[in-house]
Chains A and B, each alone.
Chain A
Amino acid sequence: MNNSEIKSDFKTMIKSEFEKLQNSLNGSSGSEINLARKDEFSSFFVKGIPTIKFENWKYTNLTFLNKLDLKVQDGSEDVSDINIKELYYSEVDSHKIVLVNGIYSKELSDFFEVDGLDLEIINTTSSTDLGKYSSYYGKLTHNSGHPFAEINTALSKSVLVIEIKENKVVDKPIQIINITDASKHGVFTNPRILVICKKSSSCKIIETNYTVGNNPGVKNIVKEIFLEENANLNYYKIQDDTEYSHTFDYTQAYQLRDSHFDEAAVSLNGKFIRNDLRTILDSENIESHYYGIFIGSNSDLIDNHTFVDHAKPNCYSNENYRGILFDKSTGVFNGKIMVRPDAQKTNAYQSNKNVLLSPYAVINTKPELEIYADDVKCSHGATSGALDENSKFYLQTRGIGEKQAEILLLNAFAAEVIGEIKIEKLRNLVLSRIEDKLNMVYN
């Protein structure tokens, strides 16, 4: 038997990669970073890859991971083929930071001194101490219980830190361009990002994702986001990737008094997307808004798991997710809202509307409210169904063909969420990509 033909399963691959990493560490193996790495690895290893028997993974079958031929990859030797100017969302006027397989590429980035912003790249295999970032890094993912966040902490070798300084308003959006280079072989990557918004700062971040090459790319990205007092952050995550892309995205935010956090997840293209978005509202007068639009075709799976954790009184949260599902695609929305005993006068709202355009398309939507305070306003609603026949007929009686009528209605359905994107250029690009996608599916 030829040994090279035996594919190891995913869990074994993670284990051997973890051991390889441990063996390569010299002086830093006893560092705080590495202790966390070991903890998170063992926490993962005990559970293994979640099966559909895990409540949080009930509708999201991960057995495909064992079928893909993957290598854990950090960075890429050759990025000369990549020109970020040609990337679709590059048109948005922004400071551009490029990560290739999770590693910062100075060569590809278009980023110079930005007033009010510190950009740091920390190599977590050689550093023994995170210095001023030690009170941030890993503090939110610690005890997440999330297997992929654990894998990321165990294996990631570099952290991109974006710190927005006190009272500073960043002049234009920051664009984080995640490139997954799968041109030579299938890859599993672990990008890691830490965003710190200091007191009264304000910033907009766009995250775009591209997979290069025709081999499977599995990206396991983890973001920790801190919003200190009165800080303001808009984070727009654009998942408009290729059919070879598979994404695990774990985003954990922590908010303090008077802060405002907007997250929009625009999932347009990709074979597999699992987003976990969690926020702890840990002081008063905080606002959190989550928006999402997902469009599935073929056999795509798009899963959004959200968790809004109201820990203190007088805060506001709102979630609005919309799904459009064609062919044999599957959508999952699970929205957990926790209102802890202290969190009186909480306003928490959630809505998930879905349009199914094929008898084989599936949506699994579930609100999960846990309310332990008695003076709160919470609401949730979920709908799923076909397009409204009366609306379609009305358009047809005005000479608009059936397909065109459906495209018009679906564009409008999506546009209500896209309207929340506060960067006009980005908003228009997204709208036109949605239109392209709908035209493609219909023709």
Chain B
Amino acid sequence: MHKGDTIPGIITVLFGLLFVVATAVNPQLTAVSKTSDGVPGAGFFPYLLGFSTMVLGALLVLRGLRQKGQVQYINLDEETKQNLKTLALSVLGLVVFLVFWKLTSQFMICMLVLCLYLNWLFQRSWKFNIIYSAVFTAFIYLTFKVGFSIQFIA
């Protein structure tokens, strides 16, 4: 089931439902405008699109169930598992970078560390890693901080 269209379909239904519920609980978001007859209100479009998304998602779920596992989007062979590990660690690195940038406001140092980390993750040599990270950080510093006067305060 997880390999075909079923789970994306369920997520689509939930996504549409989220907007429908959020519209329904907000008294200002009505389907019909309170000021003029028959004219749509602020909730008209979210309702329309929310319900449409739910219907389309339900169709995708049905299609996924009919596929009976014949359609596969994720093929977890050994190399893909290794790739997924690298991908997850990269995303984690990016998230940690954002947290540290927000907490310390030391963008350049955080960026240098992120650059070193990503190159290490991609198994680059130490020599390459250090030179690349230093040159790239210097480029960003000179172009954006010195050139465009961007302060990078999160």
* Chains A and B bind each other: no
Query: Which B residues fall within an 8 A CB radius of A?
Result: none
Query: Which A residues fall within an 8 A CB radius of B?
Result: none
